[in-house]
């Protein structure tokens, strides 16, 4: 390879190295701030001050959903720790026991008073009836 081209290759590699290391440092220092939500375990470990708006995500604990008129309460769990949520409003269609959920709300007395409840689904897609599908 001729020297001019060699120098161009080096300068490209240098720029790449520079930008990759720069961005990596930024992302590393921001790391947990880029998380969209806390898990109940992180919530417990971090000592979040009361009255702060936070997002918590996890699974809706089976059997924990209680509906009373317009209020709904349930427990978010990561199967190690859990946190109780109270919410007034309509939950998304995909909100179900044993499925993913993210809530935005204020932490008060170990309970989250939610302003927003979002359903988080996983990457699995399949037809409702698996047996039928296996016959094909």
Partner 1 sequence: MIKKFIHQFASPKTYLYQVDRFYSYIFLISLITYTISITWGLLYTPEDFVQGNSYRIIYLHVPASFLSQSLYIAMAISSVTYLIWRVKLAAYLVIAIAPIGAMTTFIALISGSIWGIPTWGTWWQWDARITSTLILFIMYLGLISLHNSFSNHEKADKLLSWLVIVGAINIPIIKKSVDWWSTLHQSASITLTDKPSIDPVMLYPLIGSITGFFGLVICLVLLSSKYQIFIREKNKSWVKDYV
Q: Which of 3, 51, 122, 135 binds partner 1 (CB under 8 A)?
A: 122
94 half-sphere exposure, CB direction, 13 A CA radius: 11
Q: What does each C-alpha distance from 14 to 9, 10, 25, 87 come to in angstroms? A: 9, 6, 16, 52
Q: Which of 23, 45, 98, 115 binds partner 1 (CB under 8 A)?
A: 23
Q: Which of 12, 25, 46, 115 binds partner 1 (CB under 8 A)?
A: 12
Of 37-45, 63-71, 79-87, 106-114, the segment contacting partner 1 by CB under 8 A is 37-45
Q: Which positions from 63 through 102 interact with partner 1, judged by CB under 8 A?
A: 91-95, 99, 102
Rounded to whole angstroms, how far apart are CA atoms 85 and 59?
12
Which helix (DSSP H) or strand (DSSP E) does residue 133 occupy?
helix 130-135
124 binds partner 1 (CB under 8 A): yes
């Amino acid at each position: 390879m001729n020297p001019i081209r060699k120098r161009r290759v080096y300068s490209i590699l240098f720029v790449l190295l520079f930008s990759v290391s720069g961005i990596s440092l930024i992302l590393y220092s921001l790391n947990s701030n880029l998380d969209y939500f806390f898990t109940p375990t992180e919530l417990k470990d971090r000592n979040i001050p009361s009255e702060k708006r936070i997002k918590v995500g996890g699974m809706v604990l089976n059997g924990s959903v209680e509906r009373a008129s317009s209020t709904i309460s349930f427990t978010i769990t990561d199967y190690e720790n859990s946190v109780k949520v109270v919410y007034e409003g309509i939950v998304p269609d995909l909100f179900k026991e044993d499925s993913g959920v993210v809530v935005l709300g204020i932490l008060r007395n170990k309970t989250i008073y939610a302003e927003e409840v979002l359903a988080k689904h996983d990457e699995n897609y399949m037809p409702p009836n698996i047996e039928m599908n296996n016959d094909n």
